[in-house]
Chains A and B, each alone.
Chain A
Amino acid sequence: MADKILKKIYVKVWRQNNPSDKGRFETYEVENISQGSSFLEMIDILNDQLIREGKDPIAFDHDCREGICGMCSMYINGHAHGPDSEITTCQLHMRKFEDGETITVEPWRAGAFPVIKDLIVDRVAFDKIQQAGGYVSVNTGGVPDGNTIPIAQVDAEEAMDAAACIGCGACVATCKNSSAMLFVAAKVSQFAKLPQGKVEAKRRAKAMVAKMDELGFGGCTNTGACELACPKNISISHIARLNREYLKAKFSD
């Protein structure tokens, strides 16, 4: 099936040379883009054009281009990962756009995710939250046979639903409070569903939430925007579970 060609589109994109630069929008014209191309391929073409014109290409994060590494992170036409559901930026295709359209592209905007350059932000805060407690404390070796810990299929599936988080940060970028609750909840909930995670459940919930607050993420006011933006469809019911885990931990103090 031959894909339609978009004769001309306008890409209005955030340019910021470094963290201390104020930044501004610039608009570029791109011609003859196949609708079968991915959004990032369109940006590649635009960058090729900019390089040939002697200009600085747009810096953006990406790696797997398959929707799993969580590296890509663009806020497109007012939506984290653009106008399609359950996908990452790298899975977005030009079919979603019209000829002549102006497409606005911004970085994730959140206090805890400072811009490094253009569309690249610093998400180290996410790693720090995981380092605070997103693990089961077992060393390599000396663990029992895998089948000595039976896990009901429904529990394993629910844990997997939560574990599917790719850590992209769309939830934070979308949330008006820049809250990282969905991200934290996904990890806490995964372990809450598994016997391996129970031993340290209290410590984990408290430590991860405390770290999240310390790093400047906002509080959760249950708007549910994060769930809609999540490319992996992680449900806000995990936030409810995090809250329960957290309260349990607090009450037992």
Chain B
Amino acid sequence: MSNIDSKIPEGPLAEKWSRHKAAIRVVSPANKRKLDIIVVGTGLAGASAAASLGELGYNVKAFCYQDSPRRAHSIAAQGGINAAKNYQNDNDSVYRLFYDTIKGGDYRSREANVHRLAEVSPNIIDQCVAQGVPFAREYGGNLANRSFGGVLVSRTFYARGQTGQQLLLGAYSALNRQIDAGSVEIFARHEMLDVVVIDGKARGIVARDLTNGEVKRFGAHAVVLATGGYGNVFFLSTNAMGCNGSAAWQAYKRGAYFSNPCYVQIHPTCIPVHGSQQSKLTLMSESLRNDGRVWVPKKKEDAERLRKGEISANDIKDEDRDFYLERRYPSYGNLVPRDVASRAAKERCDAGFGVNAEGKAVFLDFKYAIERLGRDTIEKRYGNLFQMYEKITDVNPYENPMQIYPAIHYAMGGTWVDYNLMTSVPGLYSIGEANFSDHGANRLGASALMQGLADGYFILPYTIGDYLAGEIMVPKIDTNAPEFEEAEKNVTGRLEKLYNIKGDQPVDYFHKKLGHIMWEYVGMSRNEEGLKKAIEEIAELKKEFWSNVRIPGEMNNINPELEKAGRLADFIDIGDLMARDALNRNESCGGHFREESVTEDGEAKRNDEIGCYASAWEFQGEDKEPVMHREELVFENVKLTQRSYK
């Protein structure tokens, strides 16, 4: 039974947001000055929210674990940001962006949220232009667009291959302006380690100053989490080293439901793992698939000789190459969506056709495009990516095909939020990648940046006012309250416990182990037996970690190993919940592929009879089985169809 209230407004889809805005309460300027808001995270979502809330007159405190808000992981996004501007006159519209996002998400997201996202998307571009973001331009001076996977129109705005950087620097500049004006106070190198809930409402956080280990209390009338995704559960991913799920996990332990943890996105074009010393995977832009052809050898002997280094790709004749995407998906070919391309690569490598020493890579070949278009054209299009590839691998992609392999990239799951972006704890909000809201079971390219900025600039600043209008009589939050005391004890207790284990193995040893379990059983392809095994193995790993981790250094000094240990402790628990969620969802949809739910020719098979829900997991206590609530997804405006790329 669904006991979940997602607070979707009444009325026709296209009018829900404007009707809702008209109906919700607004706080007067004089009262805004009396209200404190904490924003944890300064990526696109957090920086845009903190700046906008500061402009409105609230007192804002913003937190990030890096040394500067400008370094949040959003900085690394390359490709671009979508918006339904229809500048190209190719019949794009709010409805089309809405529809593409719902379909791309394999019909597992909320119609009302996605429509609102599409509605505000044009404002984002205007806002960023006004801030001085140097988007790419046409000769005539207008904004340029490019196309991205899975859609038929050209609606992606970009700033070279550094779109995330430029958008974040735009939001960072707006944030800086508010810091200068005194409405936002910034706490960099601070890590939030607990949420404080008083009488059922979020009233503050406990954070550790990473430079000296001091654990501090911060009170506020509302708390916003903008802490990004949990992809680093897998150890190796395209996420930055510090990306974590800890803030969302602490919120979960304080009563905020966690939604759809099993939905993670695997990106097909990453530079493969080399050896066992690797710490991080590098994404090669999706755009490369426009001109590169993906292949492996047809003959196993060739693959074996490639792995041993006896021959190289160019020794294999065209007729001995298996362009497996073109073979399996003649109509979309190399441009099938991310999840399909990733699974197909894994299938070939598992069957013994992988091309690098580890047997875990396929070729992405530009030879054909260079023959067709000339080297100059390819260099203009992808020069910087080719250079980056060569710096990392020492292989020149103009002469030899690139090697690529899928890697974890994005978390669609996250903290459950209602239409107002509020979690199941009143006064606690979650925005950006940290929440679960808009991408269903699969995210389209260039839509994460859109969602982060939509949440931060144009949605949260309205919806949070509705809640805060009821809080204007609440005085400054007293951080001496027993709940703060308890939260601080909880934090220091846990840190001391970790520090005092004094075992034999560094944190990464356990993190790599967790990564293996997750990749093996909760990765690209999942089945009941494997998932049950994962739950068991994670439980064992958890015991081992809590009895044998070794943390060097001092508690009251900068101590990266202690930080990592805390994050890993939470990743272990998140991994367990991911496996449970995946086990529960006995269908294949988007990034979640269950081997039990496939069509006759082995493609993913969605099952709307059982799968049309968003899970919302409720914490029941340490080492107790969590309870899953279901938010039923109702589709009134689109017809559910099976995706086909054949």
Show the binding face of A for B, using Cβ within 8 Å: 1-3, 17-18, 33-34, 36-38, 40-41, 44-45, 47-48, 50-52, 54-57, 59, 61-71, 84, 87, 91, 93, 95, 116-117, 120, 122-124, 126-127, 130-141, 143-147, 149-153, 156-157, 159-160, 163-164, 166-167, 190-191, 194, 196-197
Please, which residues of chain B bring their CB within 8 A of the CB of A131?
A: 176-177, 179-180
Are B508 and A151 in contact, with the CB atoms below 8 A?
no
Residue positions of B touching A, CB distance < 8 A = 48, 51-52, 55, 66-71, 73, 75-76, 85, 87, 123, 125-132, 134-143, 159-160, 162, 165-166, 169, 172-174, 176-177, 179-180, 186, 188, 211, 240-242, 274-275, 277-280, 282-283, 309, 357, 388, 391-395, 457-458, 461, 504, 506, 508, 550, 552-553, 557-561
- CB of A146 within 8 A of CB of B126, answer yes
Q: How far is the CA of A137 from the CA of B172 in the complex (A)?
A: 12
Question: Hey, which chain B residues are within 8 Å of A63, CB to CB?
Answer: 66, 71, 73, 240-242
A/B interface sample: 26 pairs, CB < 8 A:
A1-B395, A40-B279, A41-B278, A52-B550, A56-B553, A59-B558, A64-B76, A69-B73, A87-B391, A91-B392, A123-B67, A130-B172, A131-B180, A134-B173, A136-B130, A141-B458, A144-B126, A146-B85, A146-B129, A153-B138, A159-B132, A160-B134, A164-B165, A166-B75, A190-B134, A194-B134
Determine if B130 and A143 form an interchain contact, defined as CB atoms under 8 angstroms apart: yes
Query: Do residues B166 and A48 form an inter-chain contact, with CB atoms below 8 A?
Result: no
**Across the interface, which residues of A come within 8 angstroms of B69, CB to CB?**
127
CB of B196, distance to nearest CB on chain A (Å):
27
Separation in Å of the A121 CB from the closest CB of chain B? 9
Residues on the A chain within 8 Å of B278, using CB:
37, 41
Across the interface, name the chain B residue whose C-beta is closest to A232: B162
Name which residue of chain A comes closest to B550, CB basis.
A51
How distant is B604 from chain A, measured CB to nearest CB, in Å? Answer: 30
Are A140 and B51 in touch, CB under 8 angstroms?
Answer: yes
Report Cα–Cα, A9/B525, bound state, in Å: 41
CA distance A126 to B67 in the complex (A): 11
The answer to whether B557 touches A117 (Cβ under 8 A) is yes
Q: With A124-B67, A146-B129 in contact, is A55–B552 under 8 Å at CB?
A: yes
How far, in Å, is A98 (CB) from chain B's closest CB?
16
Contact in complex: A117, B558 (CB < 8 Å)? yes
Nearest chain A CB to B275 CB, angstrom units: 6
Q: How far is the CA of A243 from the CA of B582 in the complex (A)?
A: 59
Contact A116 B211 (CB under 8 A): yes
Hey, which chain B residues are within 8 Å of A17, CB to CB?
A: 557
Q: Are B552 and A36 in contact (CB under 8 A)?
A: no
- Knowing A59-B560, A68-B75, A69-B240, say if A41 contacts B277 (CB, 8 Å): yes
Q: Across the interface, which residues of A come within 8 angstroms of B172, CB to CB?
A: 130
Bound Cα distance A190, B134 (Å): 8
Contacts of A34 in B (CB 8 A): 274-275, 277
- Asked if residues B173 and A57 are in contact (CB atoms below 8 Å), the reply is no
CB distance from B135 to the nearest CB of A (A): 7
Q: Is the CB of B141 within 8 A of A150?
A: yes
Beta-carbon contact of A167 and B173 below 8 Å: no
What residues of chain A lie closer than 8 Å to B134, measured between beta carbons? 156-157, 159-160, 163, 190, 194
Interface centre among B134, B162, B559 (most CB of A within 10 A): B134
Whether B68 lies near A126 (C-beta < 8 A) is yes
CA distance A45 to B188 in the complex (A): 28
What separation, in Å, do the CA atoms of A194 and B166 have in the docked complex? 14
- A202 and B184 CA atoms in complex are apart in Å by 25
CA distance A38 to B393 in the complex (A): 10
In the complex, the answer to whether A136 meets B558 with C-beta atoms within 8 Å is no
Q: Is the CB of A51 within 8 A of B506?
A: yes
| Nearest opposing residue in chain B for A53, CB measure | B552
In the complex the two chains form, what is the Cα distance from A71 to B240 in whole Å?
11
When the two chains form their complex, are residues B461 and A153 in contact, meaning their CB atoms are under 8 A apart? no
Q: How far is the CB of B425 from chain A (nearest CB, A)?
A: 26
Which chain B residues border A68 with CB–CB below 8 Å?
75-76, 162, 165
**CB–CB B68/A140 < 8 A:** no
Q: How far is the CB of B5 from chain A (nearest CB, A)?
A: 29
Q: Are A64 and B73 in contact (CB under 8 A)?
A: yes
Q: What is the distance, in angstroms, from A16's C-beta to the closest C-beta of chain B?
A: 11
7 closest Cβ pairs, A-B complex: A150-B141, A135-B173, A143-B130, A159-B134, A146-B129, A160-B134, A156-B137
The reply to whether A48 and B75 contact each other, CB–CB distance below 8 Å, is no
Q: Given the complex of chains A and B, what is the CA–CA distance between A69 and B69 in angstroms?
A: 10
- What separation, in Å, do the CA atoms of A122 and B66 have in the docked complex? 11
Q: A54-B552, A63-B242, A153-B137 are in contact. Are A69 and B279 (CB under 8 A)?
A: no
The reply to whether B391 and A167 form a contact with Cβ atoms under 8 Å apart is: no
The answer to whether A36 touches B135 (Cβ under 8 A) is: no
- Bound CA–CA A122/B466 (angstroms): 39
Contact check, B132 vs A196: say whether CB atoms are below 8 A apart. yes
User: Is B136's CB under 8 angstroms from A156's CB?
Assistant: yes
A116-B211, A117-B558 known; A45 and B277 CB under 8 Å?
yes
Question: Do B66 and A132 touch across chains, with their CB atoms under 8 A apart?
Answer: no
Are A57 and B561 in contact, CB atoms less than 8 angstroms apart?
yes
Contact of B68 among A127, A137, A149 (CB under 8 A): A127
Contacts of A40 on B, CB cut-off 8 Å? 279
A69-B506 contact in complex given A87-B391, A136-B130, C-beta closer than 8 Å: no
Does the CB pair B129–A140 fall under 8 Å? no
Please tell me if the beta carbons of A140 and B127 are within 8 angstroms of each other in the complex: yes
B87 touches A1 (CB 8 A): no
Contact of A51 among B128, B138, B561 (CB under 8 A): B561
Q: How long is the Cα–Cα vector from A3 to B274 in the complex, in angstroms?
A: 10
Q: What's the Cα separation between A85 and B87 when bound, in Å?
A: 39
Nearest A residue (CB) for B128? A146
**Are B129's CB and A135's CB within 8 A?**
no
* Pair A65/B87 contact, Cβ less than 8 Å: no
What residues of chain B lie closer than 8 Å to A136, measured between beta carbons?
130-132, 173
Residue of B nearest to A87 (CB): B391
Shortest distance between the CB of B551 and any CB in chain A (Å): 8
Please name all residues of chain A whose beta carbon is closer than 8 Å to the beta carbon of B274 when the two chains form the complex. Answer: 3, 34, 36-37
Q: Across the interface, do A48 and B241 meet the contact criterion of CB distance under 8 Å? A: no
Extra contacts besides A34-B277, A44-B277, A131-B176 (9): CB < 8 Å: A1-B309, A71-B71, A123-B67, A134-B176, A136-B173, A140-B55, A143-B127, A143-B130, A196-B129
CA distance A135 to B173 in the complex (A): 5
| A36 CB, nearest partner CB in chain B, Å | 5
Minimal beta-carbon separation of B285 from chain A (angstroms): 12
- Taking a contact as CB atoms under 8 Å apart, the answer to whether B67 and A71 are in contact is yes
Residues of chain A lying within 8 A (CB to CB) of residue B123: 141
A2 pairs with B357, CB closer than 8 A: yes
With a cutoff of 8 Å between Cβ atoms, the chain B residues found around residue A48 in the complex are: 506, 508
Closest-by-CB residue of B relative to A45 is: B277
What residues on B are CB-neighbors of A95 within 8 Å?
394
- Chain A residue at minimal CB-CB distance from B141: A150
Q: Chain B residues near A151 (CB, 8 Å)? A: 137, 141
What is the minimal beta-carbon distance from B450 to any residue of chain A, in angstroms?
14
- Are B558 and A147 in contact, CB atoms less than 8 angstroms apart? no
Q: Using Cβ atoms and an 8 Å threshold, which residues of chain A touch B388?
A: 67, 91
Our pick among B87, B174, B391 for the contact of A91 (Cβ within 8 Å) is B391
Min CB distance B545 to A, Å, is 15
Residue in contact with B160 in the complex, picked from A38, A44, A135, A160, CB distance below 8 Å: A160
Q: Given known contacts A36-B275, A135-B174, is B557 in contact with A18 (CB within 8 Å)?
A: yes
Contact B173 A130 (CB under 8 A): yes
- How many angstroms from the CA of A98 to the CA of B136 in the assembled complex? 42
B174 proximity list for chain A (CB < 8 A): 135, 138, 140
CB atoms of A50 and B240 under 8 A apart: no
Q: A1 contacts which chain B residues (CB < 8 A)?
A: 309, 394-395
A190–B357 CB distance below 8 A? no
In the bound complex, how far is the Cα of B186 from the Cα of A118, in angstroms? 24
Interface pair A137/B177, CB less than 8 Å apart: yes
